[in-house]
Structure 1
Amino acid sequence: MPEIRVSHMAKTFGDVSVLHDIDFDVKDGEFFTLLGPSGCGKSTTLNCIAGLEDPTEGAIAIGDRALVDRSKRIYVPTEERNLGMVFQSYALWPHMTIKKNLAFPLNIRHADRADRDRRIHEALDKVGLAHLENRYPHQLSGGQQQRVALARALVYSPTVLLLDEPLSNLDAKLREQARAWLKRLQSDLGITTLYVTHDQDEALTLSDRIAVMFDGVMTQIGSPKEIYERPATAAVAAFVGSCNFMLGTVEQMLTDHVQVRLQATGTIVTVATDTDWLPGSPVTVAVRPERLSIVADEPGSRDLNVLETEVVTTAYVGSRYEYILRLGDVAVQVVSPDGSLTGAVRLVFGPDDAHVFPGESGPGTEALDLMKVTA
C-alpha cells in the first residue's frame, strides 16, 4: 500500500484560514491519527485528502501519484482517488440491505455480478457480518452498523483508508471493544490508515503515530509514547492525558537541569531539561498525576522534589483513588492505590518526572485557574 504525503497544505473558507502549512506523511501500512479538539482542522485535513474539500495551497500525493498540486494545477476528482472512507454518521442507505449498501460502490465501478458478490462476501466476512447481508441498517446495532460502514469502505480494495471519528456514536464499553477489533483488522489487512478523533484514549490505543492539532496547525507528530511522555508544548500536555501545571520563575541552570521557584508556594523544584533557561524567565512546570507520589514522611533522597500539600478531596474510581491536593492557592491532581490519606501530606517527584515550558499563558494556566482551591 502507498504512503500518504501532504506538503505545505493550507485551506481558507472566505477570509477565514483554517489550515496553516500542514506538512506530514503517513508510512506504508501505518495507522496515523489526527488528534485535536473540535474546530482544530483535523476533519478538514481528511476531507482535503478525500477530495471533499479543495486545498487553497499545497500538494497531496498517494505513493507516486499526485492527487492535488496547486502549483502545477493538478486535481484528481474524488471518485478517481480510490480511497475508502468511513464517516462519523456511517452514511448507510436506510432503504437498502447490507448487501446492497456494499454493492453500491461496486456498481458505480461497473463490477460484474460474480466479482461483486465475491467482494461483498469477503468484505462482510472480514468484519464478521457475512450472515447478516440481507438485513437493513435499522435492524443492526450501532457497533454492527459501524462494521458495515467499514466493510463498504474496504469492498473495492482502496489504496488508503480514511476514518472520520467512526467510533464516536458507540457507548463507552462498545467503543473499547471496537478499538481492539479495528486495530486488529487494520494490522491484518496492512492498509495505510488515516484516522481522525478528538478522543485521546482512541489515539493512544490505536495509533502508530499521532499528529496533535490546534487552530489549524500541527503542533507535534510522534508515537503515542512520545506524545504522552515528551509533549512538545503545554497545550499538548494538557490535551493528551491529565496534567498538573504549576507557574514559576527560573532560579538558575544546572547543566542539564533547571531550578524553578514555584509561584504558589515559593518552593524551589529541579526539573531535567535540554533547553537553556535564563534566570528570571516565567515558566510552567508540568507533571502527570501518576508521576507524583504521596508520602507521609520526608523522603531520604535529596534528588527528589518535595511539596507540602493538604488533601482536599478523595474519589474512588475502582482501580485507584484520585486525590485533589491543595498547593498554596491552587490544586494538584494525584492518583494513588491508598485511599486512607487525609490532612497534610508531602508530594514527591523526581527531576525526570516533570516538564518545563516557557511562559505563563495558554492551556497550562487556564487549567490551573479552573482548579483553584479557595481557602
Structure 2
Amino acid sequence: MPEVKVANLAKRFGDNAVLHDITFTIGDGEFFTLLGPSGCGKSTTLACIAGLERPTGGSIAVGTATFVDAGTFVPPEGRNLGMVFQSYALWPHMTVAQNLAMPLKIRKVDRREQDTLIAETLGRVGLVELKDRYPHQLSGGQQQRVALARALVYSPSVLLLDEPLSNLDAKLRDQARAWLKRLQTELGITTVYVTHDQDEALALSDRIAVMSKGDMVQIGTPQEIYETPATAEVAAFVGRCNFLTGTTTGPGEVRLDCTGKNISAPAATTAGQRVTVAIRPERLEILPSGHTAPADLNVLTAEVLTSSYVGSRHEYDLRLGDHVVQAETTRPGLTGEVTLAVEPAACLLYPTTDALPKDVEALVTIAQ
C-alpha cells in the first residue's frame, strides 16, 4: 500500500480559513489518526484527501500519483480511495450484496468476479450469511461492517474513515474498535482515521496528529502524545489532566501558587517565569496521613473531598491549597488529610501566556 503525502494544505470557505499549512506524511500500511475537537479541521482534511473538497492551496499525493497540486485536481472517482462515512451511507433499497456490488459495477468489473470479490470481502468482516438482508434489517454494528466492506471490496489504495464508530453504543464501540484494528493489521492497508474520541485514537493508531483551529499541533505515537504532550492544550484534550500555575525559582524548580511550596520538574527553566504545571491523575500517588514518601518525589499535603469507585480503581477529588485536583489509585476508603507524591518527571511545564486556550484556563482556575 502506498504512503500519503500532504504538504502545505490550506482550505478557505469564503473569508473563513479552516486549514492552515497542514503538512504530514503517512507511511505505507500505517494507521494514522486525525484527532481534535469539533471544528478543528480534521474532517475537512480528510475530505480534501478524498477529493470531496478542493483545497485552496498545497498538494496531496498517494504513492506516485499526485491528486492535488498547482493546476492539478483529480476528482474522487479517479483516486481509488475507500471511504466510510459517519452515517455509513448505505443504499436502503439494496441488499448487503447489492451495496457492495455498486462500486464494482461503476468500475465495470465482470459479474463473476463481482460475486467472488463480494464473498471474499463479506467473509473478512464476518457477514457472509447476511448478504441478502437490507440495511434496516441489520444492527448498527453490522451496518458499520457493511459500509467498511463496501469501501474495501474494490481494493482501494488507502482507506479513509470519518468517525465510523461514533453511532455505536459504548460496549459495541469497544468491540468494533478491536475488530477494526485486527482487520487493518491483517490487510496492511494505509488508513486515515478521523475521530474526536481520545481513547479510540490511542487504542487504534500507529501515530496521531492532534489538530486545533485548523492547525496541526502535534504528531506522534500514542505514547508520545499522552506522555509528552507538546502543549497544555494537547495535555487537556488527550486524557484527563490537573493544571496548576506557578513561578519558577530556578532550574527545574517551581513554586506553586496554590500551596506556596516548591516542586521539582525536569525542565530547563530560569527564575521568574510564569508556568502551568500539568500532572496526570494516575501519576499522583495518594498516601494516608503519616506515611512517608520516597525522598526523590515531590510531596504535597491535600485533603480528600470526594471518592468514586469505578471498578478497577478509585478516583478522588482532593483540595490542594486553594485548588481541587483529581487522583487515581487502587487504595479504597481514603479520607481526611493525605499525602500526594509525584515524580518530578510527571510534572510537565508549559509557559503561561495570554494565549492559553480557554478550556485550559478553565481547568487551571477551577475550584479556586
- The verdict on a shared fold, with TM-score over 0.5 as the criterion, is yes
Q: Which runs of 5+ in 2 are unaligned?
A: none
Aligned-pair CA distance for 1:19: 0.4
Q: Name 1:23's counterpart in structure 2.
A: 23
Pairing 1:58-207 to 2, within 5 Å after superposition: 58-69=58-69, 71=70, 73-207=71-205
Normalized against structure 1, the TM-score is what? 0.95
Aligned to 2:279: 287
Work out the number of aligned pairs and report it.
364
Alignment of structure 1 residues 1-375 onto 2, 5 Å: 1-69=1-69, 71=70, 73-253=71-251, 258-273=252-267, 276-295=268-287, 296-297=289-290, 299-359=292-352, 361-362=356-357, 363-369=359-365, 371-372=366-367
Question: What is the CA distance between 1:280 and its match in structure 2?
Answer: 1.0
1:164 shift after superposition:
0.2
Note the C-alpha offset of 1:321: 0.7
Q: Give the aligned residue type for 2:107.
A: R
Amino acid at match of 1:372: A
Summarize deviations over 1:164-213 as a string: whole Å, max 9, x none. 00000000000000011000000000000000000001000000000000
Work out the CA distance in 2 between the residues paired with 1:364 and 1:290: 19
SS class of match (1:272): coil
How far the C-alpha of 1:298 sits from its partner, in A, is: 5.3
Corresponding residue SS for 2:360: helix
Letter in 2 for 1:365: E
The Cα shift of 1:326 comes to: 0.4
Q: TM-score, normalised by structure 2?
A: 0.97
For residue 169 of structure 1, give the secondary structure of its aligned residue in structure 2. Answer: coil
RMSD: 1.0
Distance 1:24 1:233 in 2: 19
CA deviation after TM superposition for structure 1 residue 297, in Å: 2.6
Contact map agreement 2:303 2:335 (CA 8 A) in 1: yes
Distance 2:300 2:37 in 1: 33
Residue 86 of structure 2 aligns to which amino acid in structure 1?
Q
Shift, 1:304, TM fit: 1.3
Distance 1:221 1:61 in 2: 19
After superposition, the C-alpha distances for 1:11-54 in whole angstroms (9 at most, x for unaligned) are: 00000000011000110000000000000000000000000001
Moved more, 86-95 or 345-354: 345-354
Q: Which amino acid aligns with 2:367?
A: K
TM-superposition CA deviations, 1:275-331 (whole Å, max 9, x none): x42311110011101101111235353321111110011111111110000012211
Aligned equivalents of 1:282, 1:353: Cα separation in 2: 19
Query: Conserved in 2, the CA contact under 8 Å of 1:29 and 1:193?
Result: yes
Q: Which amino acid aligns with 2:12?
A: T
Residues in 1 aligned to 2:66 and 2:223: alpha-carbon distance in whole angstroms: 32
**Does the aligned pair in 2 maintain the 1:2–1:28 contact within 8 Å?**
yes
CA-to-aligned-CA distance 1:206-242 (integer Å, 9 cap, x gap): 0000000000111000000010001100011111111
Q: What secondary structure, in the 3-state scheme, does the structure 1 residue paired with 2:265 have?
A: strand
CA contact (8 A) 2:9 2:19 kept: yes
CA distance in 1, matches of 2:52, 2:282: 42
Q: Aligned partner of 1:144: which letter?
A: Q
> What is the CA–CA distance in structure 2 between the aligned matches of 1:297 and 1:210, rounded to whole Å?
43
Following the alignment from structure 1 to structure 2, what is the Cα–Cα distance between the partners of residues 75 and 270?
Answer: 53
* Equivalent residues of 1:331, 1:368 under 8 A apart: no
Amino acid at match of 2:49: I
Unaligned regions of 5+ residues in structure 1, if any?
Answer: none
Runs of at least 4 residues off by over 4 Å: none
CA–CA distance in structure 2, aligned partners of residues 367 and 118 of structure 1: 55
Inter-partner Cα distance in structure 1 for 2:364 and 2:306: 17
Q: Is the 8 A contact 2:141 2:168 kept in 1?
A: yes
Q: Is the 8 A contact 1:59 1:67 kept in 2?
A: yes
1:263 partner amino acid: D
